[in-house]
Chain A
Amino acid sequence: MQKGEMYVGWSTKDDVRKRGGSGGLVTSMLAAALEKKLVDAAVVLKKINEFEAVPIITSDINEVLNSAGSLHSVPSNFAKLIANKNLKVALPAKGCDVRGIIEQGKRNAIALDNTFIIGLNCGGSMHPVVTREMLEVMYKIKPEDVHGEEIEKGKLIFETKDGKEHAITIDELEEKGYGRRESCRYCTIKIPNNADIACGNWGVTGDLVGKATFVEINSEKGAKLLQNAIDAGYVQVQKTDEKGVAMRTKIKGVMEDLGKKWKAKLFVPIDNGRLEYFRKELENCIDCGACKAVCPTCSCGDVSKCTEYHSRGDAYKMSMYHLVRFLHLADSCIGCGQCSDVCPVDIPLTRLYRRFANPVQEQLKYEPGMDMRKPPYFEVKLND
C-alpha cells in the first residue's frame, strides 16, 4: 500500500460494522492500531446521546470499539486535547481538526511522527443546542426520539426510533438560521487530504452503500495504519471502481463550490466604518479567554502576546487582546469556529478573525494546516 491509493473497506467485526457510520472501518483501524502497539492511545468520542459525546484519550480497545458511529452534532476540538501530552496516538479528525493538529505540530506541541491522523470527510458539523431546537422547530420531532442522522444529497436526514426518516434540505435549514455551524458553511476542506488517510462514505457504490468506507491513503503513516488493520484481521478492503472515484470527486466539487458561495456571501468587504464594525462586534467581550484556550492553532500558553499587551484595566475603545489576536492569527486561523462556539456573549469571532485571515492567506498563498510549510509570519527575518 502506498500514498495515493484508494480502497473501499469495512470492519470485520459484525457489531462494529453494524453500528459504525459506514461499515466501522475507522473504529476498527483505531482498535487495530492499539492492539498491535502501533500507538499507545486513541482518541475517540464516547457517545452520551445523539447530541453529546465526550472526547476521551484511551488505551482500552473495547472503549474504542464501543465508540463507533457518526455524530454531526459534536463539533470536536482534538488538536487542543492532545497538545503538549507527548502521546503516540491515533485519532479520527475532521478537516479542521487535522489542520489544528498540523499547526500544533509546527509549534512543537504535537509530535506529528507519533500521531496517526485518520481524516474524516466532512460537510460540516452542527451545534448540539441549535440542533435540538432545529428538530423541534423545523422537523417537529422530539430530540429524544432521534436514533440516527445522515447528510445525503444536500439533505439533513434524521431517523427516529420508529424507523421513519425526516429530511429537509440543508439550504432551507440554513436560510432559517439552523443547520451547519457558520464556519462549516464556508469551509472548503471537505476531503482531508492533509491527514494520513482520508475516509468517508462519498464514492462508495452499489451494494456497499452505507456499509463501507471510501479510503484514500495520503502518507506512509496512512498506509501503515490501514495495512496494520488488515494484518490484524480488523478490516477488509477492495479496490475502488472508477464510478466511485468520479462520484467522490463530484461531491467534493459541489461542496467546495457551496463553501465558496457562502464565503462570498458572508465576507462582503466593509468599505467604510471598519473600526466601528469591529468595535461594535467586540463591545460585549467579558475577557473570559475562552477563544484563546480553544484555538487549535494557538500554542502560546499562559504568557502570550495577546494577554501580555492587554489589561482588564485598559479603557481603550477596542481591546488590545483582540487586536493582537487578529494580527497574530491572520496567517494561522484555520476557520474552525471553535472560538465562536465557546464565546459566552456570542461574538462571531471566527468571522472577525477570517476578515483578517482571508486576504492575508490568499495574498500569501498559504493555507494553514494543509501542509508543513511554516506560517509566513514565522519566516520573517530581522534583516528582511
Chain B
Amino acid sequence: MTGNVYSTICPGCNFGCGLYVRENGALEVDFRKSSPANAGKLCRFWMSLPRLYAPVKSMIEGKETTLDEAANEAAKRISASKGSVAFLSSGNTTCEELLAFRNIAESYLCTGAGFESLPKDAYQTLSVGIPYSDIEASKHIVLFIDPYEQYPLIVRRLLCAKKRGAKVTSVWWKDMPLADENIRPADISKLQLTKDSLIISDFHPLLDAEQVKSMLALAKNAGARITFLKPFANSTGAYLLYKDAKQKSPAQLVDDINKGTIKTLFCLESDPSALIPSETLSKLTNLIVQTGQAAMAKANIIIAHEPLYKKKGTLINNEGRAQALGGAGTSGLDALGIIAGAKFDFNALHESVKKAIGVSVIDEFTIPKYERPSYGAIQGAAKLAEAKTALISVYNPFMWFGLVDDNDFVELNLNTVRALKLLKGGTLKIKSNGSAIEKKFKVAPVQDNILLTGRKFGIEKGILTPVEISR
C-alpha cells in the first residue's frame, strides 16, 4: 500500500487483473497499466468493485458483534457439531488463508470443484492453465466459452492470436464477432481438431463432470492442448494447494446437507448461495460465513474482516502466475486461528506457498514452471439436455457474486422473434418450473430456440433450464 492506494488483483475471476483501489471516502478504482496479466485493462466488473467491497459487519444471529466474538462463537458451534461440519472455500482468498483453512477443514473440504468425479491424472490440467502468451501464439483456438461475457480480458489475447494468423472457432449457442468459424454445441461433430489446436474452456462448480470429461477427451483424442479458465480470484491457488487433500464435490455437499449428515457449514470468502440451492441451505443448523465482502446468503454467524484488497498474501491466476496483494491485513488469518484454536503465522504460511509452487520470491512477471503431465485416455458422456426451448445462463463475475448488472434481458434470434410475433421494445414471457417471468429481449445471432442470459432471474436450474416462451 502507498498512501491510501492499494495495488491489488480484481476478485471478479481468476484472470489475475491488476488494479489499484484508492480510498478517498468512496472507493475509486484506478488502472494499473504495468500489470502483466491485463496491462491495466479491466472488464465491466471494475465498476462494481465499490459495491462488492461495501463494508460488512460481524454478526451472531443478526446482532452486530466484533470479529473476535463472532469467530469464538463459530469455534464453539463447529466444535459442538463435530462430525457434521463441512468447510467450503472456492478460492476467493489468499493462498496463505487457504493453507490455514486446510488445517481446519481436513474432515470435510469442498473447493466447489468436482474433482472426485474426474480422473486423478487430469488434476493438474484442470488446476493450472497455460500462459496467456501461449494463447497468443496458438494457431487454432477453439472456444467453449463466451469470452465477451465470461472472461472479457481473454478477448484481446484472442485478437492478438488472430493478428498473428490464428483461426478461432467458437462452439457456442451464439455467433462470436471474433470467431472465424461458429459451431453450435449440438453440432460438435463438425469440430475439426489437430495437434495445433488449443481448446479454451472454463471449469466451475456448476459444470457437470461428464461435460468436463468430454472436453478433456476431445483434446486428448486430437492431441490438442486444453486450458481452463476459472471463476474465482484464487481458484488456481486453491486447486494447487489442495492437490493432495481429499475434496468433496459441491454435488456431494448438497447431498449431505439434504440428508442431514452435514448440519454446520463454514464458508471462507465464498458465497454459498452461488453454489447451493436456498432450500438446501435452509436445512443447515449453522451457516457460518467468514468474509470481507457482503454475503448474499443469510448466515447465522458472519465473521467480517478486511476486504481482499487490504489483505496481505498471494493469489495464483489461471496461468499459474503468482501475484502479491498490496495490503497488510491478516485479520482473516487471525479469525481462522481463533477457530483452529492456534494462531497462524503468516510468514510460515507464505514460505509454504512459495515451496508449493517452487519459487523463492513472488514475482508476477515470471510464471513458475509447473509440471504439466498428460492424462490418460478418457471418455465423456456429456449429453445436451433435451428441451424444445432452453434458457442458458452464461455465468460471469456478476452472477457468481450475486451482483446485479445492467443486463435485464434475454438474447434470442430473429426467427424466434418472428415465430412469436414479438414486438420491438416489447417483452417475452418465460415459464419454467412453475414460475413465470416477463423479460425484455435483444435480437442477436443466437441458435434457434435458445435464450441466453448473463443474469440470474430466479427460475434457473443450473446452466441450462428448459423453458416455455410466449409473447
Contact = CB atoms under 8 A, between A and B. Distances in A.
Interface of A: 46, 48, 51-52, 54-58, 63, 73-75, 85, 127-129, 132, 143-144, 283-284, 286-290, 293-294, 311-315, 341-346
A75 B32 CA distance: 10
A288 B152 contact: yes
Nearest to A283: B177
12 contacts: A52-B33, A54-B2, A132-B365, A286-B155, A312-B442, A313-B408, A313-B440, A315-B442, A342-B31, A344-B156, A345-B156, A346-B160
A126 to B, nearest CB: 10
Contact of A342 (B5, B41, B441, B442): B41
A287 B148 CA distance: 10
B186 interface: no
Contact of A51 (B3, B34, B148, B442): B34
Nearest to B160: A346
Interface centre among A63, A85, A290, A314 (most CB of B within 10 A): A290
A61 to B, nearest CB: 14
Contact of B152 (A63, A143, A286, A314): A286
B17 to A, nearest CB: 9
Contact of A284 (B5, B20, B32, B177): B177
A56 B2 contact: yes
Interface residues of B, number: 41
A235 B257 CA distance: 72
A288 B33 contact: no
A286 B148 CA distance: 6
A176 to B, nearest CB: 14
Nearest to A58: B3
Nearest to A128: B34
A287 B44 contact: yes
A345 B365 CA distance: 21
A259 B407 CA distance: 42
Contact of B444 (A54, A294, A315, A342): A315
Contact of B31 (A46, A51, A286, A341): A341
Contact of A341 (B33, B36, B407, B441): B33
A54 B44 contact: no
B265 to A, nearest CB: 35
Given A56-B5, A75-B33, A286-B152, A343 B41 contact: yes
B32 to A, nearest CB: 8
Contacts, number: 108
B39 interface: yes
B89 interface: no
B153 A344 contact: yes
Contacts of B148: 284, 286
B43 A314 contact: no
Contacts of B35: 129
Contact of B407 (A73, A129, A132, A312): A312
Contacts of A293: 47
Contact of B3 (A56, A74, A346): A56
Given A283-B177, A284-B159, A342-B31, A289 B44 contact: yes
Contacts of A345: 152, 155-156, 159
A92 to B, nearest CB: 17
B51 to A, nearest CB: 13
B7 A344 contact: no
Interface string B45-67: 01100000000000000000000
A129 B39 contact: yes
A182 B20 CA distance: 24
B155 A284 contact: yes
B178 interface: yes
B24 interface: yes
B185 interface: no
A346 B42 contact: no
Given A286-B44, A290-B46, A343-B41, A128 B178 contact: no
